[in-house]
Structure 1
Amino acid sequence: PLPRIRLPAWVMHLAVRHLGTSREEELAHLRLLAEGADLELEGLAGDFLRLRLGRGLLRWERHTEFSTYTLVQGLPETPLEGDPALWLAVDPLWLRGIPGRTILALELILVPGPVEEGLEVARRWLGPGPMVASLIGREQYGLVATDFRARASGLERIIAVLRPGTTETRAGRVAMRLLEMETYRMMASLGFPVARELLGFLQQAERRLAEITAEIRDRNRADAHLLDELEALAAEVEHLLAEHTSRFGASRAYQALVQERLAELREAPIPGVQTLGEFLNRRFRPAMTTVDSVANRLLALSERIAEATALLRTRVDIALEGQNQAILARIQKGQEMQYRLQRTVEGLSVAAISYYVLGLLGYGFKALKEAGLPLAPEVATGLALPLVVLGVWGFMRRIHRQLFHP
Structure 2
Amino acid sequence: MHARFNFTEIEEHPLRDYLNNEFHARTPIPLRSPVLVTHLAFQHEGLTAQEERENVLRLCQTSACKFIENSTTHMMFDAGNFQMRWELHTEYSSYTFFLPLVAGEPIHPDTTALDSVFPDWLSAIPGRLIVATHIELRSTADVSPESVLAGLSPTSGRQMVVSRIGNGAAWVFTDFMFDNGFSRFLVLDDSLAGRQPGRAVQRLFEIETYRMMALLGLPVATEVGNWLNGAESRLAELMDHIGQANSPEDERAVLADLSKMASEVEHSVARTTVRFGASFAFNSLVWQLIDELREIRVPGYQTLHEFMQRRFLPAMNTCAAMARRQDDLSSRVARNSQVLRTRVDIELKRQNQELLAQMNTRAKVQLRLQETVEGLSIAAITYYGSQLVQYLAKGGKYLFPALSPEVATAISIPFIAVFALFGIKRMRKSLALEAEGTE
Q: TM-score with structure 1 length normalisation?
A: 0.89
Query: Aligned-pair distance for 1:234?
Result: 1.6
Amino acid at match of 1:394: F
Q: Give the match's secondary structure for 1:222.
A: helix
Output the CA distance in 2 between the equivalents of 1:348 and 1:94. 106
**2:269 matched to which residue of 1?**
241
Q: Is 1:94 the equivalent of 2:139? A: no
Where in structure 2 are the equivalents of 1:138-177 lying within 5 Å? Answer: 138=167, 140-152=168-180, 154-163=181-190, 165-177=191-203
Q: Give the match's secondary structure for 1:244.
A: helix
Output the CA distance in 2 between the equivalents of 1:337 and 1:280. 83
**1:328 matched to which residue of 2?**
356
Q: Give the match's secondary structure for 2:312.
A: helix
Please, which of 212, 215, 219 is the counterpart of residue 186 of structure 1?
A: 212
**1:250 matched to which residue of 2?**
278
Amino acid at match of 2:230: Q
Query: Aligned-pair distance for 1:40?
Result: 2.2
**2:162 matched to which residue of 1?**
133
**1:107 matched to which residue of 2?**
134
Query: Aligned-pair distance for 1:257?
Result: 0.6
Would you say the 8 A contact 1:125–1:159 is kept in 2? no
Q: 1:19 to 1:291 in 2, by over 3 A?
A: farther
Would you say the 8 A contact 1:132–1:145 is kept in 2? yes
Where in structure 2 are the equivalents of 1:359-370 lying within 5 Å? Answer: 359-362=387-390
Output the CA distance in 2 between the equivalents of 1:277 and 1:262. 6
Would you say the 8 A contact 2:40–2:94 is kept in 1? yes
Q: Give the match's secondary structure for 1:72.
A: strand
Amino acid at match of 2:128: R
Would you say the 8 A contact 2:255–2:337 is kept in 1? yes
Q: Give the match's secondary structure for 1:312.
A: helix
Where in structure 2 are the equivalents of 1:30-45 lying within 5 Å? Answer: 30-45=56-71
Query: Aligned-pair distance for 1:383?
Result: 5.3
Spell out, residue by residue over 1:265-310, the C-alpha distance to the aligned partner (whole angstroms, 9 max, x if none).
1112111112221111111000000110111111222222222222
Would you say the 8 A contact 2:143–2:188 is kept in 1? no
Query: Aligned-pair distance for 1:385?
Result: 4.3
Output the CA distance in 2 between the equivalents of 1:237 and 1:110. 49
Would you say the 8 A contact 1:17–1:67 is kept in 2? yes
Please, which of 196, 216, 229 is the counterpart of residue 203 of structure 1?
A: 229
Output the CA distance in 2 between the equivalents of 1:146 and 1:397. 103
Equivalenced residue count is 401
Where in structure 2 are the equivalents of 1:1-400 lying within 5 Å? Answer: 1-75=27-101, 77-81=106-110, 88-113=115-140, 117-121=144-148, 124=151, 129=156, 130=158, 131-138=160-167, 140-152=168-180, 154-163=181-190, 165-220=191-246, 222-362=250-390, 373=401, 381-382=409-410, 384-400=412-428
Identity score, percent? 39
Amino acid at match of 2:81: R
Output the CA distance in 1 between the equivalents of 2:142 and 2:315. 33
Amino acid at match of 1:104: V
Moved more, 328-337 or 380-389: 380-389
Amino acid at match of 1:69: Y
Query: Aligned-pair distance for 1:379?
Result: 5.9
Q: TM-score with structure 2 length normalisation?
A: 0.82
Spell out, residue by residue over 1:187-208, the C-alpha distance to the aligned partner (whole angstroms, 9 max, x if none).
1111111111111111111222
Would you say the 8 A contact 1:7–1:168 is kept in 2? no
**2:13 matched to which residue of 1?**
none
Output the CA distance in 2 between the equivalents of 1:392 and 1:194. 85
**1:401 matched to which residue of 2?**
429
Output the CA distance in 1 between the equivalents of 2:222 and 2:305. 24
Output the CA distance in 1 between the equivalents of 2:59 and 2:388. 122
Would you say the 8 A contact 1:351–1:389 is kept in 2? yes
- Root-mean-square deviation (CA), in Å? 2.8
Would you say the 8 A contact 1:122–1:159 is kept in 2? no
Would you say the 8 A contact 2:50–2:72 is kept in 1? no
Q: 1:123 to 1:92 in 2, by over 3 A?
A: farther
Q: Give the match's secondary structure for 1:389.
A: helix
Amino acid at match of 2:368: R
Output the CA distance in 2 between the equivalents of 1:234 and 1:272. 52
Output the CA distance in 1 between the equivalents of 2:166 and 2:294. 5
Output the CA distance in 2 between the equivalents of 1:216 and 1:329. 29
Amino acid at match of 1:80: P
Q: 1:128 to 1:31 in 2, by over 3 A?
A: farther
Would you say the 8 A contact 1:187–1:251 is kept in 2? yes
Output the CA distance in 2 between the equivalents of 1:43 and 1:244. 36
Spell out, residue by residue over 1:219-269, the C-alpha distance to the aligned partner (whole angstroms, 9 max, x if none).
256232222222221222212222211110110110011001110111121
Spell out, residue by residue over 1:7-29, the C-alpha distance to the aligned partner (whole angstroms, 9 max, x if none).
11111111111132322222122
Q: Which runs of 5+ in 1 are unaligned?
A: none
Would you say the 8 A contact 1:115–1:162 is kept in 2? no
Q: 1:62 to 1:364 in 2, by over 3 A?
A: closer
Output the CA distance in 2 between the equivalents of 1:298 and 1:368. 99
Output the CA distance in 2 between the equivalents of 1:57 and 1:5. 11
Amino acid at match of 2:271: E
Query: Aligned-pair distance for 1:384?
Result: 4.9
Q: 1:127 to 1:54 in 2, by over 3 A?
A: farther
Q: Give the match's secondary structure for 1:88.
A: helix
Amino acid at match of 2:369: L
